[in-house]
Amino acid sequence: MILITGFNGQLGYDLGKICHDKSIAYLGIDKNQLDITDKDAVNAFFDMHTIDAVIHCAAYTAVDNAEDDKDICNKVNIDGTKNLVDACQKVGSKLLFVSTDYVFDGMKKDLYDTHDSTSPLSIYGQSKAIAENYIKNTLSKHFIVRISWAFGINGKNFVKTMLRLGKEKESISVVSDQFGSPTYTKDVAQLLIEIIQSEKYGIYHATNEGFCSWSELAEYIMVKANCKTKIIPILTSEYPTKAKRPMNSRLSKKSLDDAGFNRLPSWKDAIDRYLIELVENEGQL
């Protein structure tokens, strides 16, 4: 049985669909079914269910709000993760932790490797890095998978925001000096299921192939959606946010290659398929 936390989020939703389609036994939960910050509740939950593996997607992800809501962010991302890790350790389950490019400061000129030191710029990034370290030091049967710029059918994301603004505005200013890779949750969910069914423990980076800036991504979305809205590239300094973001979020996939896992399709291919999925689900873009 695979336990999927954060089941109502973008990634949790796609993981559930894949498990259902492949007849993989799973249990999807959100905070209404289990408060992961309650250690006793987590232990009781593990006593009630036979859990072989956990894919831990649940997280506080409001990056800017976390700067003011540090306690809540840390309670969910650190304490909640610790409770799950301790429960896994107790019963011998393996755990896959979904992490983020925000554990890095973005100062490196080259691609970030899985073994590079973490140096987060934000409260959110710090909470995920602390959780990663606890997992590495506590649970031998662990996978840490870092993704970035996630988009999926079930929830809010950059692609949906651009499509909405494209209907409302003649032009949109988008940051052009932050670089990384989008991650289609439908694609990475397939990979996570492969990883969790293996014993190839360790850290992985899993995003769609290729790199772009936010403004390049926005321009591609507009072209593919046949939207005439003009994308105006701006610098990060022209768009101040409460939380600092890494300028370079380009992640190396060498660990995937070394373990024999397939890389994800290109981000452009992923956007193409996602736009089709949106039409199929909502009838229009």
* Catalytic residue annotation: 124
Instruction: Report yes or no: 217 and 182 within 8 Å, Cβ to Cβ.
Output: yes
Which residues touch 107 (CB under 8 Å, ≥6 apart)?
119, 246, 247, 248
Q: Tell me the pairing of strands 142-147 and 150-151.
A: unpaired
C-alpha torsion 21→27→32→35, nearest 10? -140
SS (H, E, C) 191-250: HHHHHHCCCCCEEEECCEECCEEHHHHHHHHHHHCCCCCEEEEECHHHCCCCCCCCCECC
The conformation of residue 29, written as its DSSP 8-state character, comes to: -
Give the whole-angstrom CA distance, residue 248 versus residue 230: 25
Backbone angles phi, psi at 34, to 5 degrees: -155, 125
List Cβ<8 Å contacts ≥24 apart for 276-281: 277/153, 277/186, 278/153, 278/160, 278/163, 281/153
